[in-house]
Amino acid sequence: MANATWTRHHVLSLADFTPAEYDIVLQTAASFRQVLSRRTRKVPALQGQLVTNLFFEPSTRTRSSFELAAKRLSADILNFSPGSSSLTKGETILDTAKTYLAMGTNLMVIRHAQAGVPQAIAAEMDRMQSGVGVLNAGDGQHEHPSQALLDLFTLCTLLDHDNPRADLLQGKKIAIVGDILHSRVARSNLWSLTACGAEVHLAAPPTLLPPGFAQGFQPTDQPSRGSIHCHWQLDPALENADFVMTLRLQRERMGQHLLPSLREYHQQFGLTCDRISSCNPNVKVLHPGPVNRGVEISSALMDDPSFSLIADQVTSGVAVRMALLYLMTGGD
């Protein structure tokens, strides 16, 4: 596998990922996708290694995906669950992480409701020269790198099944629709999609896409860098789009006076078969899940296999996370 040049010990953010790194992840994931299509969908690559899932914020989908990825690699796994934890006994987060380090953890997968926690743990692991890698599985509204990488793998695999690579997105128009302001998924995707040369169009009401939002992700003058465009209406983002990513709308946003009503939101920004008719005829729709049917996307569109990539994203997730665990532990 193409990990000769992989040097990254932690995966905390995609802000500084290079196209070469994206290609390594894509190619490694492609080879694990093949493993997962065999009858015995398992390899002994991480036998005897210990992956610890520290999910301070509860999660089913992402935790299951990481847990399965680790099992498919034959790793041992510990799941830390906040409910029955020492945290309620006053232990600090760093001390919890150090406890799992001392037990022999090789790689920590960390989710926390507050941005920066995986970074703080990674810094402590480095300071201690522990050699343990940290993978950010979602930190507050900051980043969710493995989600953006599985989105990238889903898109590139569709464009070239046997040879997914970053440059396939060059010049593609990709719309990201919905609660961008609060979305770690959107932020990670902004880094990966622009790095791969896509033309990214954000669409949301102003309360969820404040003026200036995109400046932090401004592409540099590298020739391969894509572009970011912001819209407060849906239609200009969808026009001729090759792909549309819609984001989960948290119902709490209404109570925060950021939205008039779910119904009105759906009328203005909800994806439907009708609305995507202005896209490229081969357009595909993505959603990180879990979906609020009838809010950010209509049931009819979500269930239409000619448009929806939602199941492919979940399937890609296992292969991409296997790739990350494998690369970060220096797989043989």
Residues that bind a copy of itself (CB under 8 A): 36, 38-42, 47-50, 58-61, 64-65, 67-68, 71-72, 76, 78, 80-81, 83-86, 89-92, 95-96, 98-104, 248, 251, 289-293, 311-315, 317-318
CA pseudo-torsion sign 190, 231, 240, 175? positive
Closer to a copy of itself by Cβ: residue 28 or 96: 96
Q: Shortest Cβ distance from residue 127 to a copy of itself (Å)?
A: 10
**Cβ 4 to a copy of itself shortest distance, Å:** 20
Shortest Å distance, C-beta 96 to a copy of itself: 8
The smaller minimum CB distance to a copy of itself, of residues 4 and 102, is found at 102
Q: 10 Å Cβ neighbour count for 64?
A: 14
The smaller minimum CB distance to a copy of itself, of residues 154 and 194, is found at 154
Tokens representing 132?
Answer: 């343990």
How far apart (Å, rounded) are the C-alpha atoms in residues 169 and 154?
11
Residue 48 or 210 having the CB closest to a copy of itself: 48
The CA-atom distances, in angstroms, between 113 and each of 23, 65, 144, 267, 297 are: 30, 19, 12, 30, 25
| Cβ closest to a copy of itself, residue 126 vs residue 239 | 126
Cα 74 to Cα 267: distance, rounded to the nearest angstrom: 47
DSSP-derived 3-state class of residue 51: strand
Task: Find the shortest distance in angstroms from Cβ 252 to a copy of itself.
Answer: 11
Six token digits for residue 21: 């790194």
Beta bridge partners of 54: 80, 110
CB of 188 to a copy of itself, least distance (A): 19
Tokens encoding 219: 């592409």
- Smaller CB distance to a copy of itself: residue 78 or 158? 78
Q: What minimum distance in Å lies between the beta carbon of 296 and a copy of itself?
A: 11
Q: Is 233 left (phi over 0), alpha (psi -120 to 50) or beta?
A: beta
**Minimum distance from CB of 187 to a copy of itself (Å)?**
20
61: Cα separation from own chain's centroid:
12
Pick the closer one to a copy of itself by CB: 129 or 215. 129
Comparison of 219 and 289: residue with beta carbon closer to a copy of itself: 289
How many angstroms separate the Cα of 289 from the Cα of each of 18, 20, 95, 139?
Answer: 27, 28, 32, 17
Q: Minimal CA–CA distance to 62: which of 155, 148, 141, 175? A: 148
Within the chain, what is the greatest distance between any pair of CA atoms? 56
Instruction: Give, as one character, the DSSP assignment of residue 307.
Output: T
The answer to whether 289 and 126 have CB atoms below 8 angstroms apart is no
216: amino acid identity, one letter: G
C-beta of 36: minimal distance to a copy of itself in Å?
Answer: 6
